[in-house]
Amino acid sequence: MQQNERTEISEFGEFGLIEHLTKNNEITQAGTLLSVGDDAAVIDQFGKQMVVSTDLLIEGIHFDLMYTPLKHLGYKAVAVNLSDIYAMFATPTHITMSIGISNKFSVEALEEFYEGVYAACQKYNVDLIGGDTSSCQKGFIISVTAIGEVAPDKYVTRSGAKVNDLICVSGNLGAAYLGLQLLEREKKIFLENPGIQPDLEDQSYLIRRILKPEPRAEIVEWLQENNITPTSMIDISDGLSSELLHICKSSNVGCVLYEGKIPFHPDTEKMALEFLLDRTSCALSGGEDYELLFTIKQEDYEIMKTNAHISVIGYITEKEKGTYMLSKGGNNHKLIAQGWNAFS
Amino acid sequence: MQQNERTEISEFGEFGLIEHLTKNNEITQAGTLLSVGDDAAVIDQFGKQMVVSTDLLIEGIHFDLMYTPLKHLGYKAVAVNLSDIYAMFATPTHITMSIGISNKFSVEALEEFYEGVYAACQKYNVDLIGGDTSSCQKGFIISVTAIGEVAPDKYVTRSGAKVNDLICVSGNLGAAYLGLQLLEREKKIFLENPGIQPDLEDQSYLIRRILKPEPRAEIVEWLQENNITPTSMIDISDGLSSELLHICKSSNVGCVLYEGKIPFHPDTEKMALEFLLDRTSCALSGGEDYELLFTIKQEDYEIMKTNAHISVIGYITEKEKGTYMLSKGGNNHKLIAQGWNAFS
């Protein structure tokens, strides 16, 4: 490669890079309703709409096989893709799965991985319809593409949030990040003292949240059954702060987030104390929770509050008012995207 | 990983491995018409049928950046996926493109890569609708998923070849393999004597066939315009022998291939002589030609022979008769799959 200039990828960051590389992307197919830049793309096939999303998972970047059982990895690779489909308010139907593997893996190891893949497919009623298998020089590479369907024009993007809409989140946040800290701590102890057994017995909830996340299918189903269509929606893979900023940027609005309303699991609170970590920071920047973040019209609040698995955590404001979190102490903090940046 | 047994992946080979890992794959979606095991999967979406195919390309395994310009690589990554869609007798409409890149690549290098991606998308009227961008510790990883459409039940699989069908191939074979030999030779010379300039001027045809292959869209269009539906079809990525054996195995038939009918470009013949290579072997086992191999009913022969870009190279027999090539010397050779095996 001969280059006159050299711009480092890290100068852009993941989202900046995608934006930069796709700015000249031309759409020619009449059926392309939504392209690069949301959780998934939407294409129209003769009135029925399909949603497509894809993810690349690379050993050493996205997962550590020292503490990730291959069966869990297979399950998670499918689950995180389905999460993107649900985040479009759609129902996943099919996936393709490609893997690149070095010869350190045996056939038995791959069987274990595929057990997890099939378990996730069965649980979410999705068919594995194709893929590619290749060798690679080092490590394990996984590429998954998920396809889903949605009733015509019922898909939900990141860009529909309106002033005064309520900001909602499913489940609880920060658990996956603390699960990861636990695994990293035990890995370190093990590497220093291989004789010591890991002390993870009481932490099954946090460990499960990082190793075997579940897409929030039942939240989407509940919303659909109750005729609530969110005005915007995204899944939380990079942390609440980063995802909320995506919605605000795409929707051209601001927001107020109440720190005191962010939902936590008791185990998350306890472990944050043990690690001397601020639990709010774990929720804002931790990532990998795969909960759904969405906005609804105020009129949907009465029904929404009947669902104990959904928390209202703030509201949408005019863009000029900025993107802030109101702390428990009553102070305004500007939200910043400190989420996971693969290029930093 | 704790394993009691260890089976090496190389014992299975690529196709054996996929077959092994997907033998327990359960299909639950009513819309899944064709799953793992063909060039692409077929799914039914309310009467309209869609074709989905995916490929993983890894630096050091599938391409060598020492002689592959990034723009060509981007073009080829798209082209080879579209080839799988055309091989289903379908028309590609959309792709997703995920890349994993180490920090040795600059933004300018990626821009060059995407120029090639967009050039291929424009040429074949396909929309890039999504993807994922990640860092990786080493090299360049590309994952492409292509989506296409086909009139209901008009897709063509590998499994429909019938006894007495004619075996046809588009274009000419072996050119990509000889292009690769040329590039490898020049790389070796360059590494030994960095001052010497590569001597590739007269070899643009062979070089183009390996660096910038084109899916055979016009062959599919011509067949459709002339109301010829092949009984089976596959694209030639691993060599004529391997692909013809795929058709015979899936269709439960045998074949006779005439060595003297295999089409070659004059440059291929010349370069095979220069490299002391048997040109028939280049066609049978070379791979990467991305021509279409298909079978037709005898009654379609009269129209077929009017197309100078299609050669009839043999015919389908009963399974019991085996899979043979009749050499120019009049001898029968059993066809063996010596195509590219990423795990050997």
The ipTM is 0.87
Report d(CA A245, CA A242) in Å as an integer: 5
Three-state DSSP class for residue A20: helix
Instruction: Count the alpha carbons within 13 Å of B239 in the hemisphere toward its beta carbon.
Output: 20
Superfamily of domain A166-334: PurM-like C-terminal domain (3.90.650.10)
Alpha helix positions (H), A212-332: 217-225, 240-251, 266-274, 279-285, 301-304
Q: Picking from A253-257, A338-342, B164-168, B304-308, which range would have the lowest pLDDT averaged per residue?
A: A338-342
**CB atoms B134 and A20 under 8 Å:** no
B107 inside 8 A of chain A by CB: yes
Give the Cα separation of B284 and B262 in Å (integer): 9
What mean pLDDT is predicted for residues B138-155? 90
Collapsing DSSP states into helix, strand and coil, what is residue B310? strand
Count of CB pairs separated by less than 8 Å, A with B: 281
Q: What pLDDT is stored for residue B260 in this prediction?
A: 97
Q: What is the pLDDT of residue A33?
A: 77
Q: Are B343 and B14 in contact (CB under 8 A)?
A: yes
pTM: 0.90
Q: Judged by CB atoms within 8 Å, which residues 134-173 of B form the interface with A?
A: 134-139, 141, 143, 145, 147, 149
Q: What pairs with residue A145 in β-bridges?
A: A54, A96
For chain A, which ranges sit under pLDDT 70?
1-4, 14-15, 45-46, 199, 338-344
Task: Yes or no: say if B89 and B132 are a contact pair by the CB < 8 Å rule.
Answer: no
- B64 interfacial to chain A (CB closer than 8 Å): no
pLDDT bracket for residue B38 (50, 70, 90): confident
Whether A155 contacts A42, CB under 8 Å: yes
What's the rounded Cα separation, in Å, for the pair A42 and A149?
9
- Select from B88, B108, B136 the residue whose CB has the most chain A CBs within 10 Å, as the one to mutate to test that interface: B136
State how far the Cα of B184 lies from the Cα of A14, in Å rounded to an integer.
35
**In chain B, domain spans:** 9-150, 166-334
Q: Do A54 and B25 make contact, defined as CB atoms within 8 angstroms?
A: no
Query: Tokens 């702060």 map to which residue?
Result: A241
Q: Would you call B102 an interface residue with chain A, using a CB distance cutoff of 8 Å?
A: no
Closest Cα partner for B126 from B170, B101, B90, B152? B90
The nearest alpha carbon in chain B to A125 belongs to B28
Q: Please choose, from the candidates A145, A174, A134, A165, the residue with its C-alpha nearest in 3D space to the C-alpha of residue A50.
A: A145
Contact A103 B9 (CB under 8 A): yes
Residue B206, pLDDT above cutoff 90 = yes
Under a CB-based contact definition with an 8 Å cutoff, are residues A139 and A73 in contact?
A: no
pLDDT recorded at residue B292: 98
Structural contact between residues B51 and B147, judged by C-beta atoms closer than 8 angstroms: yes
CA geometry: angle A38, A40, A42, nearest 5 deg = 105
Q: Tell which wins on pLDDT, B161 or B202.
A: B161
Q: Is the dihedral of CA B33, B36, B40, B45 positive or negative?
A: positive
Query: Residue B50 above 60 pLDDT?
Result: yes
Q: Please say if the pLDDT value at position B343 is more than 50.
A: no
**Mean pLDDT estimate for chain B:** 89
Give CATH for domain B9-150: 3.30.1330.10
> Which fold does the domain A29-150 belong to in CATH?
60s Ribosomal Protein L30; Chain: A; (3.30.1330)
Q: Is A16 on the interface with B (CB under 8 A)?
A: no
* H/E element, A177: helix A175-192
Q: Where are the beta strands (DSSP E) in A137-248?
A: 140-150, 166-170, 232-235
Contact B106 A342 (CB under 8 A): no
Q: A290 or B12: which carries more pLDDT confidence?
A: A290
Residue B129 exposed, middle or buried by CB count within 10 Å (0-12, 13-18, 19+)? buried
Q: Which band of pLDDT confidence, cut at 50, 70 and 90, is reported for residue B4?
A: low
List the beta bridge partners of residue B106. A8
